[in-house]
């Protein structure tokens, strides 16, 4: 069993990274491998809505000079996904936003019923907005989200300062524990219970 964690912070040792590593530690305790992919320091082109991914053989993005397609392939094979971003201006960090737009536009159909969660690090406020934005990707991809005792937001400014946010630490640890449990439940359930029946997607346009 394996989880892919995306770090959308340009700081590889910042509070977002600390949060991911803490969650990865909990997952490893449950026998689940975690691969952390660093996104925040890259130069990522945003989605242009060209539609290439809809018609390409492997539903790959048209831009092939960054890790979006490679990461998508890893997530398609994984059991779970963690989206992590710092909060700068009450939203997802810019590079991470561009990465996620292309990742989910091209591959969300492959993420259905995977276990996925999101976490954000913030100095003071705006973290809930960022968390909601991250969760929008997961909801639209029809992933299964593990619960916790509170919103998965950790607080801190200096590197590692979030570890002093004891409630935040407990919240994301419990979220990772629930994630591990859900992955195991879903994997076992697939052996005897079929996934929900698929329906042809209905699109409604309100401007005619």
Instruction: Tell me the per-residue pLDDT of 61-112, one tens digit each, with 9 for 90 and over.
Output: 999 999 999 999 999 999 999 999 999 999 999 999 999 999 999 999 999 9
111, 80, 108, 113: which is closest to 195 by C-alpha? 113
* Residue-wise DSSP of 107-135: HGGGSTT-EEEEEEEESSS-HHHHHHHHH
Asked if 47 and 107 touch (Cβ cutoff 8 Å), the reply is no
CA separation for the pair 148, 143 (Å, rounded)? 16
Question: Which neighbouring-strand residues pair with 7?
Answer: 38, 84
- 38 by Cβ neighbours in 10 Å (0-12 / 13-18 / 19+) ranks as middle
Summarised one tens digit per residue, pLDDT across range 166-207 is 999 999 999 999 999 999 999 999 999 999 999 998 989 888
Other beta carbons within 10 angstroms of residue 180's beta carbon come to 23
Task: Provide the 8-state DSSP code for 191.
Answer: T
Computed over every residue of the chain, the mean pLDDT equals 96
Classify 84 as helix, strand or coil: strand
Over residues 9-54, the pLDDT tens digits come to: 999 999 999 999 999 999 999 999 999 999 999 999 999 999 999 9
**Hey, where are the domains in the chain?**
2-189
CATH number of 2-189: 3.40.50.360
Model pTM score: 0.95
Q: Is the pLDDT of residue 208 over 90?
A: no
Strands (E), the chain: 2-7, 33-38, 80-86, 115-122, 153-155
């Amino acid at each position: 069993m394996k989880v892919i964690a995306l770090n959308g912070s340009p700081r590889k040792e910042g509070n977002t990274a600390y949060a991911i590593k803490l969650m990865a530690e909990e997952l490893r305790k449950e026998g689940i491998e975690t691969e952390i992919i660093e996104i925040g320091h890259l130069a990522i082109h945003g989605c242009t809505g060209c539609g290439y991914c809809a018609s390409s053989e492997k539903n790959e993005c048209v831009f092939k000079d960054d890790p979006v397609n490679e990461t998508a392939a890893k997530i398609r094979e994984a059991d779970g996904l963690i989206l992590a971003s710092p909060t700068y201006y009450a939203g997802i960090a810019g590079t991470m936003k561009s990465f996620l737009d292309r990742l989910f536009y091209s591959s969300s159909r492959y993420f259905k019923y995977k276990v996925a969660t999101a976490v954000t690090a913030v100095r003071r406020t705006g973290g809930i907005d960022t968390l909601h934005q991250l969760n929008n990707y997961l909801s639209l991809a029809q992933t299964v989200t593990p619960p916790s005792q509170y919103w998965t937001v950790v607080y801190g400014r200096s590197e590692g300062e979030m570890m002093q946010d004891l409630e935040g630490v407990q919240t994301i640890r419990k979220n990772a524990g629930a994630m591990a449990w859900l992955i195991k439940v879903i994997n076992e359930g697939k052996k005897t219970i079929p996934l929900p029946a698929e329906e042809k997607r209905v699109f409604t346009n309100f401007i005619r």
